[in-house]
Structure formats: structure tokens, C-alpha cells
Structure 1
Amino acid sequence: MNSTTSSIVGALGGGSGVDMVKLAGDLSAARFAPRIAQLEGRAEQLDLRISSAGALKSSLTQLASALGERIRTGDLAPRIAVGNAAVATASVSPGGVAEGSYSLEVTRLASRQMLALSPFGSAQDPVGEGTLTFRFGTVDGGSFNEDAARPVLQIAISASDTLEDVARAVNLAGGSLSAYVANGAEGAQLVLKGQDGAMNGFTVEGSGASASGAPGAGNIDYLNWNPATDSGQIKAAAADAAFTLDGIAMTSPSNNVTGLPQGLNLVLQGTNAGSPTALTFSDRGPQIESVVNDLVLAMNDIAAQLKQNADPLGGELGNDPGARTLKRELAGLAGRTVMPNAAPGAPRTLGDLGLVYDRDGTFRLDTQRLKNTLARSPAESTAMFTTGFHGVYASIDNLARSAGASMNPGSIGGSVRRYTAQREKIGEQLTDIAIQQDTLRSQMVKNFAWADRNVAQSQSTLSFLQGQIAIWNADRG
């Protein structure tokens, strides 16, 4: 009840004895009650449909996500054994299909150039004002082949900068070099390191105010270095890793080797020239059986959920186009080709892995067919379980994405979008009705207040007349 309208009625009079504000509220509510009940009932139905369709969509998404995670990092992830663990570790990129075995022989690890420049008496000695210029390229014996496409690095040195200041400036330059000062038997030396790989060799050139034709400590060009004038400053040369994979010679600027056939990756750790080691992949047959069995169980959960919700006799999605589409998709899942490029005789479908869809709308596993496929085509069966464009995961993921596509009116996602839009429209209609009801109630309050005032005036007039009549009767008596 509104206190303002109550005070209005009180001010105008309460002659009728009727609660006009409550009466107005009851009448305005009764006026819109049937329409509100109808809309709220429809809203409840839509909420159930949104919930049911959303649950189906979520179940499919979760299944695809769990399967992908199991292939990437779970028990279906490729397990590679390196015969000589001191030589390398190995892994397979997501979506890779590395299988079988490989021979690996590492003859050289990738390395970085390291210089220990001419010594100073102390790390606090000034190096001289000027500019240090670093050029990058390949150091080959006493020659240097600059990489013209790579920008030089220049660092300005002030007259007060010490050897430690220079090391700090190199590290702060954010380039491909790092530096520190080593205090050894010869004195304080600036140590410079590049990055792994033959193309990451570098030279040092000091120029500017303190440069001298006969450089010494305190002259910026005392820090000069190039391979032609090296007198022992180079402690390690930049080089690419060199190895053979299945007898094929390869190089890499880094010991972290990627881009190898079938998604194979290597981290080289040691050399084994003349003694190749084997990279072998473990049999994943037992893991595949476990995954396919779990897939059947998960698909049956979704099928049961769909059957209940899409029941034409009382299911929330009984006549839903998205539910009908999903039924057809599930019915055809076992026969769908998931490996279009499979060789003749190799497994191509989920049915080849033992997946069966029965007429009652449920899935089951033909265990014997799965075992036969694994025994006949172990490598090809394993290749079906990747996160690439084809395979078991891609098939389930595409099913989940298709079902969840909100812009497709014939999908579960489209149904969620459509029902949500209808539900929002009902919410807007209920808001409009609430405004109309409040407007009607306010109008009724005003009208009833006016009527109540007239009744009060009539009662007052009647009381006056009754009093006059009583007086007349008394005088006549």
C-alpha cells in the first residue's frame, strides 16, 4: 500500500468506511491476473527448455574438452623413450602423429659465443668515453661474415662509466647479449655471451672520444674484438647443433629442436657420435581400449539425457528442431569417416574402433572388433587419437561445435538462443503489465477517493437533516 495515496484518502475523508487503497490494488491486480499467470506459465516452460538444451550443449562441450585433454596430456599422449637419456629428451607437439621408432645421433650441440675481453685492474676502472658497437653474423676461423639484415647494437658509454657499468648497460639493452665482470687471475674482465647458433656470432668495436690508435685500459677501443685479431679472448664459438635423424643429416640453431617430421620435438643434451640411440613409442593399445570404453559411457549419458528431454510425450524439448538434429547426428556417429586419408584396410570410422549405435538410441562397444582393429592396425589406430583436423577428437569436437552453434536455428545452441530471446520478451511484457497495473491502481485510488468524499458529504447532510427533523418534532409536541 502506498502511504501517499493513503494520506490522500484520509485527507478527503473516509466516510464510506471502505479501504479504498486496498480495493484499488485488488481490482487492478484482478484485471491483469489472467494475463500474468499465462505469461509466467510460459516463462516457466521456457526456463525448463533453456535449462535442458543448455545442459545438452554443455555435456557435449565437456566431453570434447575432456577427450582433447586426455589426448594432449593424459594417458593417450605419446610416450617416447630415448635409449640414451643423456643424449636427448623427446616429445610430440599437440596434433602430432609421431609413431614407430627413430634413430638419433648427435655430433655437436648448439653453442653460444663467449668472450672474456682484455683485463682491467679493477671492475671499478673507467673504460673511456665513446660508443660500443656490436655486429652480428657468422665467425668462421679468422673471418667474420656480418648478417646485413640484422641491426647492430650500439651502447653509449660516458667518461665516468666503469667496467661494471658497461656490463649493466649491455644487460639493460634488451638485445641478444648478456654480460658480467669476472675477477680472475688476469684481473677484471668483461665477459660477453651471445645466443646459441652459428648466426649469433658477434664482434665488438669501440669508437669515440677516448678511442686511441694504440688502445690501453681507459680507452674505449681497448674492448675491441674481432676474430682476425683474436689473442685468446674467445672462450667458446657460436655453432649450430648437428645431428642425424634416421640417418638424415640436420642442423638446428638451438638445442630445442622443433618442426621435425610428424610433430616430433627434441631437446638435445649430449653427443653420441658413432653410437646412435633409438627413439621408440610405447604401444597405446590398452589406453585406446580404455578411452573408447569411456567414450561409449559418456555418449550413453548424453543419449539418455536427450531421450528424456526430447520425449514427445512430456519432454521439455519434445518438438525441438535442435534435439531432432542431435538425434540424427548421434545415430550416424559410428559410421562417420574420421580418417578420410586412411590407407585401404586401415581404420576409418568410429565403428572400426567398436562403437555401435543400437535402435533403442543407445551406444555399446563391440570389444572384439576393437581388439581386432588394434591387432591388425596398431599404428593406424593410434593415429586416430590426435588433436589434429582428423580423428576421434576432431569428430567429437565438431559434433559439440555444431550442436552449440547459436546462429544455426536447427542446433541445440540455436534453440537456447531462440528460447532465451522468447524468455526475455516475456520479461519485457511482464514489466509493461506491471506499469499498466500501477497506472490503473493509481487512477482507481483517485476515483475512489472522490467517491468517498461525496459519500462523506452526503452522510453529513443526512445527519443535519435528521437533527432538524428531530428538533421540529420536539417543538410540535
Structure 2
Amino acid sequence: MDTNIVSALGGGSGIDTTKLVKDLVSLEKAPQQQRLDSKKEQLDAQISAYGTLKSSLSEFKNILAPLANNDTFNSRSVSFPETDVITPSSLAADAQTGTYQIEVESVAQAHSLASNTTYSDKDSGIGATGNLTIRLGTWTYDVSDNPVSFAENEKQTSLSIEVLAEDSLQDIADKINEQDSDVQASVLLVDGSYQLMMSAPSGAHNALEVSGDDPSLDVFAFNAANYANVTETQQGKDAKVQLNGLTVYRETNNIDDVITGLEFTLNKASPGEKFTFTVSEDKNTGEQAIRDFIEAYNTFFETAKSLTGVSKDAETNQTTRGDLATDGTAKSLIARIRSVITAAVPGVSDFNALTNVGIRTKLDGTLEIVDKDFSAAIKDNFEQVASLFAPQTSSTSSSVDVSIGSYASKTVPGTYSGSISTAPSKGSVIGDAAFAAFNTADTPAGDFSFSVTVDGTTSSSLTLSGDFTTAESLRAELQSLINNDDTLKEAKAFVDVIVAPGGELQLVSREYGSASKVSFDATGTDFATQTGLSTASASTSGVDVAGTINGEAAFGSGNVLLPKIDSDPYGLNLTVKEGASGAFSITYSRGLAGELTSLIDSFLSGSGIINTREENINKQLDGIVDDQENLDRKMTIYESRLTEQYLAMERIIASLQQTGDSLNGILDRLPFTASNN
């Protein structure tokens, strides 16, 4: 019998099981993989969209920077004639406006001295020893231009250098230049020999007086008693200008304090030649900054709208959803910015909203300028426009100045009440008796030494010397001696010496507060007798300012009063003048630009809502990676199971095939079976 029983039973697979398994796995995986891919694509798009949003926010913030600067609204312009007599060098944002006429009668020049003694080698020791003292001040000359008397400039620092026998001319110049002083020294080569030149800052009150405590230093001396060994190559002189008919003297030719905010340089004298120029308000800078802000906001808003909204193609009528259209965080962020744009600015009373200056919100959410209203606001209410955009502080008391501190980012805008209970004061010491003229030379063996402690720092031993015919001469000498002491200078502990109403001398610290104190640590007998100042003189410590701000006790240090930490006004600094008392109020506004900048900074900070949202998205992306691994592992197991099942099937079929082969012709071989012929 030729019938194959296995074949008859349908045996023998003939199936490509490998392809079949892969197809079955693909069919099983496809819907789950599609969900993962779709989710990942959506999250990747959101991460990219947040990157675009952050970039757009940063660009918008950069445009806000000029608006947040008061100088933008205080810009000035100057129309200056072409001349080589005067050169304008800078114009500050808040320069004083007006029309000015100026005439340069003389320019400032620096006092300069050249030693008459020359040396063949500038680097060899000259054999001079002792201490060389250089002071700055004003010389009085006789009719022959010889120096007669010298008055020290209290605002300048004197210097003293030690000269050693091995010091060369160059060494002495270097020692002078290394001092903390405006005096400069140089070694000049003239006709084959070297000589020392010393120069002072320009100005009649910065002339040089040079003295040595050893005769070997007389070659450099220039004082009332000894000046023949040096040549006064140039006397110190002040610049003299006529400004709108007023005579003005200045020590330097670089003048920055005659017309507030305008700095100019005097190049040469030109008596009789007058120049007229005008400093005027420049509103264009502020106006352009506002226009730039409108354009930048509209650009940001359009970008944000495309990310969070739904748009429709006009031709195909097909709608497209932004990548952040379903993202509540992004929508909330944009809503908060729009809220600040449309709301009144905290801390501003008049012109406190964009609508007050002719800026409107259109139906599509962008901003537009109503030219008529905007131009009127710029022309007639420019200061109020500035207050709307830029930070502002004000105080109702002339004795209390308020400024923005380094922690103002947390300050809540608004108006706060305050009260001064204790005014700040400086430490001082006052003499026991009124001034009486004396000359230390009248008491050759007298002890006129003293040392003074200023704000906790004690001076070295100082010695008073001179002929004091007036209280002013004694006052000036004492202040110079004390403030030029190296120990006190290093500690920046200085005093002002004044003549009290009763004629007594009084030393007052330049610092305010409880750490401010002046007292005499030691006084010689003759010093105490003649000046009325001694270790027993009445010393009064300074007092820190005290008061309240916003109903809470404030922290006072010196003349600075600070609000309580973490209170609403914290971040503002109040500087209080002596004698201040009673109630006052202060107002602070960030301005619209400041409010927006603060808001954007909070969005972009490491703990801001954008970073938090991005972290959440990235966690979801990490979760997709885990889900993908789980799916791949599951499909691998599924594939293995199918493979095993089909392998088992093939084994069965193979076994059946073998059995079928063995059954072929079995009927013909069976006994008692007839065959068909």
C-alpha cells in the first residue's frame, strides 16, 4: 500500500517557524511599543519646547535690563562747540541740565622740584642717611618767589622714608614711589649726570615741602628754612575758570564737580574766549527702551503662544497643537507674566499701569502703542513714566535716605512706616580748657608727646611741634599728625579735629556707632597743659541708630538702620543722619521691569517651576527607558516560549514522519492478507 499514513493525517509541517515566531512577537509587541514611542516622542518634544521657552524668556529678560536701570530715563545729551581749549570726556545719566558759558583763564599745574646736586651714577650709594619727610600743602611766596610759609593740606597724606647710606638716587626715588601717596619721584639724566625730581598732584594746595632730619639730606630739602639746594621747576597752581560769570578754582584740569554729571578736561588757558554749551534731557533713550520692550514682549508672547496653543492653517483648515498645549505648568507661567503686564505696579501711586502711558493689550494678547497717548506721556510726564518701569525708593524724611541693598530681590514693594528712637552719633573727646596761644620752642625741654586711640586702634607716640598763634593752626596740626600716623592709617581710623563753641579742641571719629570712640592713651605734661587735652579729658562713645521699620524693631549699626530679617521691607538700607528723630515712611517699587525680571528669574532658577517640570519630564523619560527594557525582556521570553513550542512541534512531526515511513507497505506484509491483482 503506497498511502503515507502520516501524510494522510496531515503530518509534516513545512512551516518557516523562525519567521512565524518573529511575526507573532512583532504582532504582540507592536501596540505596546507604539504607546512607548508615542509617549517618548511627546516628552522629547516637551523638553525641546521648554528649551525654546527658556531661551525666549532669557532674551525677553535681557531687553528688560535697560528699563530696570534709572539711568535709562535720566539720559542727557550735550551740544559742545569744537575747540581745543576744553574737551568733554563723559556725561552722566543724571547730569544737571542747563545752558552754560565757560572761560578758561588758567589751567592747573603740579608743583615740581629738582635737586641741584647731580650724580654720575644713579645706582651707586650717595652716602645720605636719615628720615626724609614730604608733606603736601600750600606755599606762600615773597615778591621774589621764595617760599616763606607752608600750610599743610589736611586732606593729603604725608610720607616719610628712611634713607640708608648705601641707598642710590634710584633707591630713594623707588622708596618715595612705593609709599601710599600721590607724590612721584623720578631720576633724570641731564647733560650726562643724574638728578632727582619730585612732583606732586596738580593744584596750589598740593605743593611739596621736603625736610630731612640729617644734614646729608639737605640736597633734597625744600622748606621755609632751607630751599637753596633744589630748583622749583614749576609752582603748583589751580585751574581757574569762569562759569556763567562765577569764578571757579579746581586743583586738577579734569573737572567733574562743577556741573553735576559733566566731566571735562581743560587743555589750555584761553582768557577772553568764551564757549557756550547746553546739557539737555534726552528722552529718546527711555522711549526707545520702552519700544524695544513692547517688541520683545510680543515676540516672546507669539513664541509662547505657538508652544502652548492650537493653530489652524488658513489654507488646509488643519489644526496643529503646540508641544506644550496640554502642559499646565507652561500655561500657568505665561498667565503669570500676562498678569504682571496688565496689573498695577506695586509701590507706584500715579501712572502705575501700562494703560496710563498709552500701551494697550490687543485681543490676541500682544501689546500695542497708542501713539497719541504715548507721545503725550513721554512729553509731559516723563518722570512718572520712569517710575512705572524702573525701581524707585523714597523717604518722607530728609534725615533718612533709603537705598536698595544686596538682598532686595526678596523685598516686597510697598510703603512702610518707620520711627527713629535714637539718632546715630560719633565718638569724641573734648579738651578741658579753651585754646591759648603757645610755641613749643619756648619750652625746649618740654614733653609735647601724646598717643591717641581711635575706634579701638592706638597710634604710635606722636609729638606736637610749632608756633600756634590761633586755634585753627593747632587744630590743623593735630589733625595732620593723627591722621598721618601709620598705625591709624592702616586701620582706617581717622578723626576730624574741630574747635568747639567754647574754644576747646575736640577730636571726633569719622565713624558712627558704638564702636566709635576717641580717647588719649598717653599725654606729655606740656602737651596736656597747653592743649587742654589729656587722658582725663571727657570722652564720649558713639551710639548706634535705633528705631522701628514696619512696626518691628530694626537692626542699627552706626548710622545704618536695617529692617528685620525676612520681613517685607528686608533688603532696603536706611542711612540716618545725626539728630534724626520721630516718624517717617519709605516707599519701594521694583517698577514693571523689576517685577518682570524678578518673576522670570524665579522661573529660570534651579528651584523654579521650569526646572521642576523638566525634572518631572526627565523622570518620565527614565520610566520609559525602564518600560522599554521590561517590554524587550518580556518579548524575549515570549519569543523563547514560542520557539520552544514550535521546536517541540517539529520534533513531534519528525517522530510521526519516522513512524509513517515504517508503516509504509505493512498491509502487504501482513499474513492472510490478499492482494489485488
For the superposition of Structure 1 and Structure 2, which TM-score range results when normalised by the shorter chain? 0.5 to 0.7
Q: What letter corresponds to residue 389 of structure 1 in structure 2?
A: P
Using a 3 Å threshold, how does the CA distance of structure 1 residues 266 and 434 change in structure 2: closer, same or farther? Answer: farther
Asked whether 1:321 is paired with 2:332, we answer yes
The 1-side partners of 2:630 and 2:127 are apart by 85
The 2-side partners of 1:131 and 1:303 are apart by 78
Q: What letter corresponds to residue 230 of structure 1 in structure 2?
A: Y
The 2-side partners of 1:41 and 1:132 are apart by 85
1:398 alignment partner, one of 578, 582, 594: 594
The 2-side partners of 1:258 and 1:198 are apart by 18
Task: Give the match for residue 416 of structure 1.
Answer: 610
1:188 alignment partner, one of 194, 214, 228: 194
Preserved CA contact (<8 Å) 2:183 2:199 = yes
The 1-side partners of 2:128 and 2:649 are apart by 106
Preserved CA contact (<8 Å) 1:97 1:263 = yes
Asked whether 1:46 is paired with 2:53, we answer no
Give a deviation string over 1:232-253, Cα, whole Å, max 9, x none.
Answer: 5333345665667667777665
The 2-side partners of 1:182 and 1:130 are apart by 19
Using a 3 Å threshold, how does the CA distance of structure 1 residues 123 and 175 change in structure 2: closer, same or farther? Answer: farther
Preserved CA contact (<8 Å) 2:212 2:221 = no
Preserved CA contact (<8 Å) 2:95 2:279 = no
Asked whether 1:119 is paired with 2:117, we answer yes
Asked whether 1:230 is paired with 2:231, we answer no
Task: State TM-score, norm by structure 1.
Answer: 0.64
Using a 3 Å threshold, how does the CA distance of structure 1 residues 56 and 368 change in structure 2: closer, same or farther? Answer: same
Task: Give the match for residue 13 of structure 1.
Answer: none
Q: Larger relative CO (CA 8 A, sep 6+): 1 or 2?
A: 1
The 2-side partners of 1:420 and 1:143 are apart by 74
Preserved CA contact (<8 Å) 2:391 2:594 = no
Preserved CA contact (<8 Å) 2:101 2:243 = yes
Structure 2 counterpart SS, 1:233: strand
* 1:100-249 superposed matches below 5 A: 100-102=98-100, 104=102, 109-124=107-122, 126-129=124-127, 135=133, 137-141=135-139, 142-143=149-150, 145=152, 150=157, 152=159, 154=161, 159=166, 162-164=168-170, 166-167=172-173, 170-171=176-177, 176-184=182-190, 188-196=194-202, 201-204=207-210, 213=215, 215=216, 221-228=217-224, 229-231=226-228, 232-238=230-236
TM-fit CA distance, 1:326 = 1.7
The 1-side partners of 2:35 and 2:639 are apart by 22
Task: Give the match for residue 5 of structure 1.
Answer: none
The 1-side partners of 2:636 and 2:306 are apart by 48
Which ranges in structure 2 are unaligned for 5 or more consecutive residues? 1-15, 140-148, 312-320, 394-589, 671-677
Task: Give the match for residue 365 of structure 1.
Answer: 369
Which ranges in structure 1 are unaligned for 5 or more consecutive residues? 1-15, 216-220
The 2-side partners of 1:455 and 1:469 are apart by 20
Identical pairs, percent: 15
Query: Which structure has more helix as a fraction of its residues?
Result: 1
Q: Please identify the structure whose Cα radius of gyration is greater.
A: 2
Structure 1 counterpart SS, 2:221: coil
The 1-side partners of 2:592 and 2:114 are apart by 58
Preserved CA contact (<8 Å) 2:57 2:600 = yes
Computed over aligned residues only, the root mean square deviation of the Cα atoms, in angstroms, reads 5.6
Give a deviation string over 1:5-43, Cα, whole Å, max 9, x none.
Answer: xxxxxxxxxxx9859x98999799779736633641441
Structure 1 counterpart SS, 2:278: strand
Q: What letter corresponds to residue 419 of structure 1 in structure 2?
A: R
Using a 3 Å threshold, how does the CA distance of structure 1 residues 52 and 112 change in structure 2: closer, same or farther? Answer: same
The 1-side partners of 2:173 and 2:25 are apart by 84
Asked whether 1:87 is paired with 2:86, we answer yes
Task: Give the match for residue 36 of structure 1.
Answer: 36
Using a 3 Å threshold, how does the CA distance of structure 1 residues 383 and 206 change in structure 2: closer, same or farther? Answer: farther
Preserved CA contact (<8 Å) 2:183 2:198 = yes
The 1-side partners of 2:187 and 2:180 are apart by 18
Query: Which structure has more strand as a fraction of its residues?
Result: 2
Give a deviation string over 1:97-149, Cα, whole Å, max 9, x none.
Answer: 54333455666655433221233143447342466756454322232537599
The 2-side partners of 1:163 and 1:112 are apart by 22
The 1-side partners of 2:82 and 2:55 are apart by 50
TM-fit CA distance, 1:189 = 1.8
Using a 3 Å threshold, how does the CA distance of structure 1 residues 170 and 46 change in structure 2: closer, same or farther? Answer: same
Q: What letter corresponds to residue 611 of structure 2 in structure 1?
A: R
Task: Give the match for residue 382 of structure 2.
Answer: 381
Give a deviation string over 1:383-406, Cα, whole Å, max 9, x none.
Answer: 956996359xx7463254134122
Task: Give the match for residue 315 of structure 2.
Answer: none
The 2-side partners of 1:162 and 1:25 are apart by 97
Task: State TM-score, norm by structure 2.
Answer: 0.48
Using a 3 Å threshold, how does the CA distance of structure 1 residues 81 and 206 change in structure 2: closer, same or farther? Answer: same
Q: What letter corresponds to residue 64 of structure 2 in structure 1?
A: A
The 2-side partners of 1:58 and 1:125 are apart by 61
Q: How many residues align?
A: 433
